Structure 1
Amino acid sequence: MADLYSTLGLKRGASEADIKKAYRKLAKELHPDRNKDNAEASSRFSEVTHAYDLLSDADKRAQYDRGEIDEQGNPRAPFGYSPGAGRGGFGGPRGEGVHFEFGEGGDFGDIFSDLFNGGQRRRGSPFGQRPQRRGADVAYRLQVLFEEAAALKPQRVTLSNGKTIDLKLPPGIESGRQMRLSGQGEVGPGGNGDALVTIEIAPHRFFKRDGDDVRLDLPVRLDEVVLGAKVKVPTVEGAVMLTVPAGSTSGRTLRLKERGFHRATGGRGDQLVTLMVDVPGGDAELESFVKQWESERSRNPRASLGV
């Protein structure tokens, strides 16, 4: 796997904000919903998400920058180690590879101190021994209800070992986002693997997502748009009252502020309510009224279209 920074199009030393910005840009371009028949884009999306998950974890990023773990998050072998080496433990046949010379007053402790970053040996990698591998990661797919994703309600997840945890959804959550639960994978001699949870937001029967906004087509009566009214409107967190201005037309969109999805950058999207005038069929009284409504029958609402 390529260097995690280059996977996100960044250089080492990038700030947390740069990492988040690069991930959001690439995730939008490569998201499976936009590339349903593009296997390469799907693969790149997984790589980008994995890189972001590791680099956004401060502890793991520090380990990666120090060379203690690889691009998969697994511990690296000690400096100069080569599998199959002789007892010397450093690449090549016995007696070859790294060679140390000690002058008068030389101290083994100093050599080992330099090699292991000030005397702190890498966890699970004693000098001259093969590092113990951590347990395997375990993948999960979690479907989240539309309203709960918008409101960031915690999700209860049951792991393969029977353990149940409450997963906190992050702002900006989208379908395809992978969340890493450190140490919740399979057990291994070098430590536990991680649980990788891919989020899938379930579609809703009348709400539609538009970026961080939520859209809703709202049926209204003719008298409600002509005379104006207060009507009850469903939102992702329960019904609220909406004022329909008098003289509104079918297709007019009204805004309920901060009733949408939570943004990754802070704040929240809105709910956009589009009025859809619902005219009942077979209503004799309405038909009689319209036949006598001379001013309306003589008006051409399509004049602006040139017809």
Structure 2
Amino acid sequence: MTNADWATKDFYQVLGVAKDAPAAEIKKAYRKLARENHPDSHPGDTAAEDRFKAVAEAYDVVGDTTKRAEYDQTRSMFGGGGGWSPGPGGGYGDGVPFDINDLFGAGAGGAGGGFSDVLGDVFGRAGAQRGTGRRTRASARRGADLETSTTIGFTDAVDGVTVSLRLASDAPCEACRGTGAKAGTVPRMCPDCQGAGMRAASAGGAFTLNETCPTCRGRGMVVDDPCPVCRGAGRGLSDRSVQARIPAGVKDGQRIRLRGKGARGENGGPAGDLFVVVHVQPHRLFARTGDNLTLTVPIGFDEAVLGAEVKVPTLTGPVTVKVPPGTPSGRTFRVRGRGVPRRDGLKGDLLVTVEVQVPASPSDEVRAAAEAYREATAGSDLRGRLFEATGPTGSSGGGGDA
């Protein structure tokens, strides 16, 4: 794609989104259009294939933050009607006919330089050489980012785990290696554009623009005997497995970025990234609060009154928690370093909350002991302080029945 393409093509219109649309909306529109026009869903429909390629071309630019900013800048300078206008008669102002491609290729009169020297550095694209019948080597393109999800166990989320993921993405056709030609044959150079993929078209008066060659659809090559797998598109769906390392301490719903695990790049470009949304299964005993684990442990009435040493489980083996005499139900004890790994290399804590258990069907011996306890504590009033703030009649003002 030449710099002139960026000045003349409206990629936002191709995707059906506004110029200021957020990245999520652009991605959603691309996926919808790609599914609707994918060659596999429309065998032999060249119009759908052209729409699929146009949508992919548009998303490759505006779906990338850096490319989108550069594209918007180019459009504002040359494609938005501002910043420059030709002289009288459609020329440079000195009688020399104007060709917008001069801005991106050779200067007026065929001299080298022009804006391609500047914009080529900014955008990484070389402008088409007007009249040469050749184009520069296709630039490397970064592979698309992919997103998937996985479900792991609670313990795996705490300790970290390597999972195997199945991915389906757009990639060069394996049968023809991306050429679009049937095995044993090769594409030939397009006779209309001589391999440039672009051709000059009159825009009226002295103006000329480069447009995509309709014969080869911008590929620069013509396939006489198309590949039966991709039907000459050169692209297809790749189904592969990747090993992904989920770091220790990952949270439920967290989105992990794995660099270089996305779709393969083109023309030597780097692979995209893989984003994995992690879902964590709940644990039978433990819950999580930040970097701390929580655990509820039952204790007997006698242990709460007299004190005890209670053995409790952790994810790395049992520990003993000392319960002091007179411990109330609901008190929480902290076991340091038995929680979730943190980014600084340390671990959170285990928070153990004790609950005093009362027998549902007390035996005669338990009832006798309870009676003795009641007699021993007959002088104490556990609920006396509840009425200290009430009115002189002992009522707080409510009128309902108890």
TM class by shorter chain equals 0.5 to 0.7
Q: Do the aligned partners of residues 210 and 300 (structure 1) sit closer, same or farther apart at CA in structure 2, a change above 3 Å counting?
A: farther
Aligned residue for 1:185, secondary structure, equals coil
Q: Which residue pairs with 1:96 in the alignment?
A: 100
Question: How do 1:56-71 residues align onto structure 2 when only pairs under 5 Å count?
Answer: none
Deviates more, 1:157-166 or 1:221-230: 157-166
Q: Do the aligned partners of residues 218 and 69 (structure 1) sit closer, same or farther apart at CA in structure 2, a change above 3 Å counting?
A: farther
Q: Which residue pairs with 2:284 in the alignment?
A: 205
- Taking structure 1 as the reference length, the TM-score comes to 0.58
How many pairs does the alignment contain?
Answer: 225
The equivalent position to 2:334 in structure 1, one of 255, 265, 273, is: 255
The Cα shift of 1:298 comes to 4.4
Question: How do 1:223-242 residues align onto structure 2 when only pairs under 5 Å count?
Answer: 223-242=302-321
Instruction: Say whether 1:152 aligns with 2:159.
Output: yes
Q: Which residue pairs with 1:57 in the alignment?
A: none
Q: Which residue pairs with 2:371 in the alignment?
A: 291
**CA contact 1:152–1:170 (8 Å) conserved in 2:** yes
**CA contact 1:144–1:200 (8 Å) conserved in 2:** yes
Considering Cα pairs closer than 8 Å and 6+ residues apart, tell me whether 1 or 2 has the greater RCO. Answer: 2
Query: Per-residue displacement from partner, 1:128-148 (whole Å, max 9, x unpaired)?
Result: 477665444332212232233
Aligned-residue sequence identity (percent) comes to: 30
Q: Distance in 2 between matches of 1:297 and 1:142?
A: 60
Structure 1, unmatched stretches of 5+, are 1-43, 48-67, 86-92
Query: Per-residue displacement from partner, 1:255-298 (whole Å, max 9, x unpaired)?
Result: 11122223446643222111111222322211111111212354
Instruction: Say whether 1:177 aligns with 2:254.
Output: yes
Answer with 1 or 2: which has the greater Rg: 2
**CA contact 1:75–1:131 (8 Å) conserved in 2:** no
Q: Do the aligned partners of residues 201 and 213 (structure 1) sit closer, same or farther apart at CA in structure 2, a change above 3 Å counting?
A: same
The equivalent position to 2:349 in structure 1, one of 270, 281, 288, is: 270
Q: Distance in 1 between matches of 2:384 and 2:290?
A: 34
Q: Which residue pairs with 1:282 in the alignment?
A: 362
**CA contact 2:162–2:244 (8 Å) conserved in 1:** yes
Amino acid at match of 2:371: K
Q: Do the aligned partners of residues 114 and 302 (structure 1) sit closer, same or farther apart at CA in structure 2, a change above 3 Å counting?
A: same
**CA contact 1:229–1:243 (8 Å) conserved in 2:** yes
The Cα shift of 1:71 comes to 6.1
The equivalent position to 1:140 in structure 2, one of 125, 142, 148, is: 148
Aligned residue for 1:286, secondary structure, equals helix
**CA contact 2:242–2:261 (8 Å) conserved in 1:** no
**CA contact 1:147–1:237 (8 Å) conserved in 2:** no
The Cα shift of 1:253 comes to 1.1
Q: Distance in 1 between matches of 2:64 and 2:314?
A: 41
The Cα shift of 1:69 comes to 8.1
Q: Which residue pairs with 2:392 in the alignment?
A: none
Aligned residue for 2:366, secondary structure, equals helix
Deviates more, 1:230-239 or 1:196-205: 230-239
- Taking structure 2 as the reference length, the TM-score comes to 0.46
Deviates more, 1:205-214 or 1:131-140: 131-140
Higher strand share: 2
The equivalent position to 1:165 in structure 2, one of 243, 248, 270, is: 243
